[in-house]
Structure 1
């Protein structure tokens, strides 16, 4: 049995649960190697099982490391589970309508047993994230963004080209919708590429998905004196924060390092998001480097560090790398902060 499932079973046993019901596609993939394309329910118990639609049976039987059964109806599934389960944990994200199907037959509580496991990556998982990073960074080099800026290429067409190169380099898809924005729109952290010509500064936030795992980077190209000034502050926050990350810290302490540096320069109110987040099968996972997250930093975590300063109506600068945490934080990939 997979180590992740064993660990979850141990946690379940401590709290007296006989079974754990999951419907989140990424969680099912994490525990079984099968990613549903329609719908599925995984039940973690002494003999774990996945109930899936007939449409998915072939792919599930091909990929899953745990038993597969065809989902016929809720009543037949419940009858099956009642043979071995009385106290049932459900993942907190389970839809209320689905919860209603089970609540009369089991002692049910919403519990999160999976994120604790997913937060710590295995060496294989870290390798996949590192490969995804290399793919994305090579694609970034190929678009030659400085040349694109010089002759005024359109934002959305360069974003499209970046996505194309990532696929050509081995990505199954981008990790998320590529952000390539410039000028005043760069002050919007999640701006959408437009048909307009690239101006300055240029902010690119992109990532590749490789073998199911995501990467995430951001670079900003600056041109004016003020843009360079802001860039240097963000770069200082980025570099010093990564240098100070170590196991045993709490996540909020990492966020505070970056936030304090930016605040010292008078731009604390312009740093309008958290310092970073975990990533893996999903681009945003738990924990996060945010002011309220008290999760202990541990070896095996893979997190982004992405401080930014956003001047409304003027421009924004964000610099982001993904780090794997061992005795200290190691940056994945070799793309410099300054693009030349």
Structure 2
């Protein structure tokens, strides 16, 4: 079933005759185009893309990407936008006899909403949430292939830079080397600015790389990913420069065990909250529960962080085709932090680990 057909089914259930899309990621998912100024209108029979570009310049997506863009051929009408946009939109809505118009509430600013309300008098604006995002949660084979390749590029990039990590190298240097290798490996770029932290700074879950220099005995935390054909990867590895202490080894293995137990239980039909609880209970029983300060993982695809989320508030049922991260961490103020993160694909009976699993013991560089 095409993406647009699935979206229309969801719209029908919500009694939304027309939906205005303003989120470039959702528009790109459906159409193959992702201009920041593009707007799409979806009805029960029509799909229109409004763009400030000259229509003749849009062309077709590269042949290599058409398998990803399953909604492209359904966008039969690509129109040049006029300013203000309402001069283009209102005649179309009138012609289609549409008076109720859904919009993406999470992607429309308050000021823009007021502008829409002012110019669309006589139309009822209906806020919607997750209509396209929920479709994006389950990946098709082409999407999975893109994610696999992104993971391979990210892992190869890390392998190439590890030999350059030595005493006195700065966090920012490691981040720069990683980004260079990711692009060199064939990715469009990093999925997000890499997180690189040394020593006590590893106790901050998401710190920005600084000019801190690496010292012997320091913990090293690297959280990185690549974008390949618009799909993201997200991984984390922890290391120590030199010989690991008993405490470092112990905390690392607690995380490895928590991650392993959680991955083993991931399967269709189980709630996200239950997977989070499996890992969190292991960490808590070891006395470090209050130092695990974030959810266990999240969905990933065209965005690094997308639904569903492996956390205590998310009761979403896991489905085949979802791609998730599993990333337990322990962060001790003044001492340091350790996190490991892998990516898994939910299958019919369980899950497949897409990345090379984090090693069972804390790696020493």
So what's the TM-score if we normalise by structure 1? 0.94
Quickly say closer, same or farther: Cα 1:88–1:19, change in 2 above 3 A: same
Name the structure 2 match of 1:274: 295
Aligned-residue offset at 1:57: 4.2
Distance between the aligned counterparts of 1:6 and 1:75, measured in 2? 26
Aligned counterpart, 1:128: 146
Per-residue CA deviation, residues 118-169 of structure 1 (Å, 9 max, x unaligned), is: 1111111111111100000000000025x513x3311111110111011011
**Bigger shift: 95-104 or 305-314?**
95-104
- Provide the rounded CA distance (Å) in 1 between the counterparts of 2:195 and 2:264: 27
String of CA shifts for 1:213-270, please: whole Å, max 9, x gaps: 0001000013222111111111111111101111100111111011101001011000
SS of alignment partner, residue 197 of structure 1: coil
User: Offset of 1:8 from its aligned partner?
Assistant: 0.8
Deviation at 1:61, TM superposition (A): 4.0
The structural deviation recorded for 1:333 is 2.3
Which residue pairs with 1:79 in the alignment?
91
* Correspondences of 1:275-290 after superposition (within 5 Å): 275-290=296-311
1:254-295 per-residue CA deviation (whole Å, 9 max, x = no partner) reads 110111010010110000000000010110101100100011
1:313 aligns with: 334
**In the alignment, does 2:150 pair up with 1:111?**
no
Partner Cα separation in structure 1 for residue 99 and residue 275 of structure 2: 42
For the residue of structure 2 that corresponds to 1:138, the secondary structure is helix
Match of 1:201 among 210, 213, 219: 219
Q: CA deviation at 1:59?
A: 5.7
**What does 1:2-151 align with in structure 2 at a 5 Å threshold?**
3-36=2-35, 38-45=36-43, 46-54=45-53, 57=55, 60-63=58-61, 65=73, 66=75, 67-72=77-82, 73-76=84-87, 77-84=89-96, 85-93=98-106, 94-103=108-117, 104-112=121-129, 113-145=131-163, 147-149=164-166, 151=167
Is the contact between residue 16 and residue 87 of structure 1 (CA under 8 Å) also seen in structure 2? no
Instruction: Normalising by structure 2, report the TM-score.
Output: 0.88
Give the aligned length.
335
Superposition pairs for residues 151-190 of structure 1, below 5 Å?
151-190=167-206
- Tell me the distance in 1 between the aligned counterparts of 2:124 and 2:311: 34
8 Å Cα contact 2:187-2:227 kept in structure 1? yes
Q: Counterpart in 2 of 1:263? A: 284
- Superposed displacement of residue 335, structure 1: 5.0
**Structure 1: gaps (5+ residues):** none
- Please state whether the residue corresponding to 1:82 is helix, strand or coil: helix
Which piece of structure 1 moves more, 61-70 or 158-167? 61-70
Compute the displacement of 1:58 (Å): 5.6
User: For the structure 1 residues 59 and 328, does the alpha-carbon distance in structure 2 shift closer, same or farther, using more than 3 Å as the test?
Assistant: farther
Aligned in 2, Cα 1:307/1:336: closer, same or farther, shift over 3 Å?
closer
The separation in 1 between residues aligned to 2:228 and 2:57, in whole angstroms, is 19
1:229 aligns with 2:284: no
Q: Write the distance in 1 (CA, Å) between the matches of 2:339 and 2:332.
A: 12
Does 2:321 align with 1:300? yes
CA distance in 1, matches of 2:357, 2:149: 14
CA shift, 1:27, in A, is 0.5
Q: Report deviation, 1:28.
A: 0.6
Is the CA contact (8 Å cut-off) linking 2:51 and 2:79 kept in structure 1? Answer: yes
Structure 1 residues 205, 91: CA separation in 2 closer, same or farther (over 3 Å shift)? same
Structure 1 equivalent of residue 351 of structure 2: 329
CA distances 1:27-46 after superposition (whole Å, capped 9, x unpaired):
0110011111x411111112
**SS at the partner of 1:7?**
helix
